[in-house]
């Protein structure tokens, strides 16, 4: 596997169009990984306390319906 320094050199050698395509691809990959992490966390119940706190705050009048 290539190391980060080799990848950096190759990226610096890309044309503007190639760099733009790479940037788009990286952003898409980042979003996919973020979505996967959120789904994993939700399934594991890691966000339950945040939802509970938000509902409690809303019941206490600390928010309004959209």
Separation CA 37–CA 5 (nearest Å): 27
Three-class secondary structure of residue 52 per DSSP: helix
45/32 Cα distance (integer angstroms):
20
Residue 2 confidence class, pLDDT cut points 50, 70, 90: confident
pTM metric for this prediction = 0.67
Q: Tens digit of pLDDT for each residue in 6-55? A: 999 999 999 999 999 999 999 999 999 999 999 999 999 999 999 999 99
């Amino acid at each position: 596997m290539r190391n980060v320094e080799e990848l950096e050199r190759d990226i610096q050698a890309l044309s503007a169009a190639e760099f733009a395509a790479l940037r788009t691809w990286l952003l898409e990959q980042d979003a996919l990984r973020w979505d996967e992490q959120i789904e994993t966390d939700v399934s594991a119940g890691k966000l339950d306390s945040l939802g509970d706190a938000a509902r409690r705050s809303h019941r206490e009048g600390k928010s309004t319906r959209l």
